[in-house]
Amino acid sequence: MGVNGNLMTVAFDNPISQNEVGYACRGDLRLKSEVIRIRGKNAEMQVFEDTSGLRVGDLVEFSSRLLTVDLGPGLLTKIYDGLQNPLPELAEQCGFFLQRGTYLPALDRKTVWEFTPAAKVGDVLRAGDSLGTVPEGIFKHRIMVPFRLQGALKVEEIAPKGSYDLNKTVAKLKDERGVAVDVTMVQSWPVKMPIKCYSERLRPEEPLTTKVRIVDTFFPVARGGTYCIPGPFGAGKTVLQQITSRYADVDIVIIAACGERAGEVVETLREFPELTDPRTGKSLMERTLIICNTSSMPVAAREASVYTAVTIAEYYRQMGLNVLLLADSTSRWAQALREMSGRLEEIPGEEAFPAYLESVIAAFYERGGVVRLNDGSTGSVTIGGTVSPAGGNFEEPVTQSTLKVVGAFHGLSRERSDARRFPAINPLDSWSKYKSVVDEKDVELARRMLRDGNEVNQMMKVIGEEGTSVDDFVVYLKSEYVDAVYLQQDAYHEIDAATPGDRQKYVFSVIVKILKTKMKFENKDSARKFFQQLMQVSKDWNRTAMEVPEFKAIEGRIEKMLAEVTDYA
């Protein structure tokens, strides 16, 4: 009927459903597409591939299925595109370039997994309950009653302990109406629907340590919480997520590279297998999964990629694991929506984004959360998304819609990244609703110091250092000190790059003590000199492992320096 970019208009005869997947056929070529609007006898479909070569009159095969992903053992360590095509396998088959219309199975059906049953014949289960487990790397991967099944399910047969491939039926269940269901170790689930096989949603309270000090101490993230990182280009969004993907204290990390540079993903996928995860001693890759739909890959699949990622995250949550989903960048996904909305000729909202942008973003972040599963254990999905606002201006629809729904805001600023103050999270206007790893009262004190120091600094720009009192000057120096030795962190130093929660507590208490100390200086120069030296020593402290004697020695030097300037009056 019609083709306009990646939008295709199709006339249909048999009933179809919204979001149903169809394939546009041209000779041997089959291009995956999704119904996005139905009007009378016409359906509008977004094609997940380059549409060139299609012609009016070509047939579209409908699949009667929504866009789904395969869920089962073997997902971890994989590198998929937005539609769950395994990229390395695709490269083996097609060579250097992605070839449209080639879809490979997400999970190798022939691989055998060692199954240990957990359910017995006669057990009555619900969707999401465990039937057994298989070892997947460092995890016990639960084989669960398929999420799509409803009501009570009776176990009629269950496979004994043994090795099976993904095609093998490992359990036979009977539902309330007496219908028999064969269950294998893999199930599929539509990506746009949240998995809800749990007993209740809990409030995210437990801190998720990222080991980035400014985050954990000042703008913390909670397990099951959501947060966003908006910032202009080059401010450090991707580097911050890369650090988090390495050091965050979670079981599983899912990286959704959504419409950004391919080169950045290459760094992760070439480096992670070589890095060891300090928690497990195994390769970092074993806890990682990458969904990679970079900027030159098809735009519609970019939109699908974040849903593919969050669905897999929910799947592992169902096993009682803590999953962190990092999406870079959610703006690219919003732009994919905008492109499609434009082709559909919908009435545009601000900056031509569709009017429903806000609800789509809200629904996505809503899929994060901590849940109590039916067996009493808990699992969580934490979502962190970067935002790339046009012109670096946060007053734009994607940033604003995101800020309404997330629990923490890590706003990166151009001034800080230009000054190489990394991570460039602006301490003055970022916020978090979650609990810090340190005492909140201390955080408040440090925050006030940062604000006051900033004011003094602004004032000095007008009246010069000469016109500033020594006391005010010390406030400024203290704020610069906290900034330099605590907020800033060297991402490339082996010790400084990651500060565990207990170390943050310890170090921060010393910093707070320094901030609280009333100091006496003869003049501004001696104050400046003191703080320069203190900064130098404190930075050495940051670069020293907590276990070595040197750590205590440096702490002693800091105490001594402090005593020398303390005003006991």
Partner 1 sequence: MHKVYHQIESVAGNVITVKADDVTYGELAQVTSNFGTSLAQVIRLNGSMVSLQVFAGSRGISTDANVRFLGHKMEIPFSDSLLGRVFTGSGVPRDKGPEITENKIAIGGPSVNPAKRIIPRNMVRTGIPMIDVFNTLVESQKLPIFSVAGEPYNPLLARIALQAEVDVIILGGMGLKHDDYLFFRDILEQNGALSRSVLFIHTAADPTVECLLVPDVSLAVAEQFALQNKRVLVLLTDMTNFADSLKEIAITMEQIPSNRGYPGDLYSQLASRYEKAVDFDTAGSITILAVTTMPGDDVTHPVPDNTGYITEGQFYLRNGRIEPFGSLSRLKQLVNNKTRKDHRQIMNTMIQLFAAYKETLEKRSMGFRMSEWDAKLLRYGERFENELMELSVNIPLEQALDLGWQIMADCFEPAETGIPTKLIDEFWPANRKAAVKA
Ligand X SMILES: Nc1ncnc2c1ncn2[C@@H]1O[C@H](COP(=O)(O)OP(=O)(O)OP(=O)(O)O)[C@@H](O)[C@H]1O
**Residues lying near partner 1 in the complex (CB under 8 A):** 1-4, 9, 50-57, 79, 87-88, 90-91, 94-100, 232-234, 259, 261-263, 265-267, 269-271, 292, 294-297, 299, 332, 335, 338-339, 342, 348, 351-353, 388, 390-393, 418, 464-466, 492
- Cβ nearer to ligand X, comparing 239 with 561: 239
Residue among 265 and 443 whose Cβ is closer to partner 1 = 265
Long-range contacts of 334-341 (CB under 8 A, 24+ apart): 334/361, 334/397, 334/398, 335/259, 336/259, 336/299, 336/300, 336/302, 336/303, 337/303, 339/5, 339/6, 339/299, 340/6, 340/7, 340/36, 340/46, 340/300, 340/303
Q: Closest distance between ligand X and the C-beta of residue 212, in Å?
A: 9
Of 94 and 180, which has the nearer Cβ to partner 1?
94
Closest residue to Mg ion: CB criterion: 238
The least CB distance from residue 210 to Mg ion, in Å, is 17
Q: What one-letter code names the amino acid at 556?
A: G
If the CB atoms of residues 45 and 79 are measured against partner 1, the closer one turns out to be 79
Q: Which does 54 bind (CB under 5 to 8 A by kind): partner 1, Mg ion, ligand X, none?
A: partner 1
Q: Cβ of residue 273: shortest distance to ligand X, in angstroms?
A: 22
Residues 16-35: x where in contact with Mg ion by CB under 5 A, - otherwise, as a string: --------------------
Calculate helix-pair angle for 470-482, 501-516, nearest 10 degrees: 180
**Residue number with CB closer to ligand X (250 or 412):** 412
Q: How far is CA 226 from CA 163, 197, 221, 379, 402, in A?
A: 39, 20, 7, 15, 10
> Residue 392 binds which one of Mg ion, ligand X, partner 1, none, with CB within 5 to 8 A depending on kind?
partner 1
For the CB of residue 114, give the shortest distance to ligand X in the complex, in Å: 41
Check binding of 245 to Mg ion (CB under 5 A): no
**Residues whose CB is less than 8 angstroms from the CB of residue 214 and which lie 6 or more positions away in sequence, other chains included:** 423, 425, 427, 486, 487, 489
What is the β-pairing status of strands 171-174 and 408-409? unpaired
Q: Which is nearer to partner 1, 312 or 334 (CB)?
A: 334
**Tokens, residue 387:** 């935002």
The entry of ligand X, partner 1, Mg ion, none near residue 64 (CB within 5 to 8 angstroms by kind) is none
Extract the runs of DSSP E, i.e. beta strands, from 110-219: 112-117, 124-125, 130-136, 139-144, 153-158, 162-165, 171-174, 180-183, 187-190, 200-202
Question: Is 260 or 314 the residue whose CB approaches ligand X more closely?
Answer: 260
The verdict on 244 binding Mg ion (CB under 5 A) reads no
Nearer to Mg ion, 237 or 246 (CB): 237
524-542 and 549-565 helices, crossing angle to 10°? 170
When the beta carbons of 51 and 238 are compared against ligand X, the nearer one is 238
Closest CA to 230 of 8, 394, 4: 394
Residue 418 contact among partner 1, Mg ion, ligand X, none, beta carbon within 5 to 8 Å by kind: partner 1
Cβ 148 to partner 1 shortest distance, Å: 32
238 binds Mg ion (CB under 5 A): yes
Mapped onto helix, strand or coil, the DSSP state of residue 33 is: strand
Does 489 sit near Mg ion (CB under 5 A)? no
Closest to 179 in 3D by CA, of 159, 154, 197? 154
Q: How far is CA 5 from CA 131, 293, 298, 555, in A?
A: 46, 18, 11, 63
In 375-439, which residue ranges form alpha helices assigned H by DSSP?
397-405, 414-418
- Closest to partner 1 by CB, 379 or 389: 389
481 binds, among ligand X, Mg ion, partner 1, none (CB under 5 to 8 A by kind): none
Q: What are phi and psi of 505, to 5 degrees?
A: -60, -45
Picked from partner 1, ligand X, Mg ion, none, the partner binding residue 270 (CB below 5 to 8 A depending on kind) is: partner 1
Contact between 288 and 245 (Cβ < 8 Å)? yes
**Residue 88 partner contact from ligand X, partner 1, Mg ion, none using kind-dependent CB cut-offs of 5 to 8 Å:** partner 1
Cα dihedral sign, 387-389-392-395 = negative
Interaction site with ligand X (CB under 6 A): 231, 233-239, 260, 388, 422-423, 491
User: Which residue ranges make up the site for Mg ion (CB under 5 A)?
Assistant: 237-238
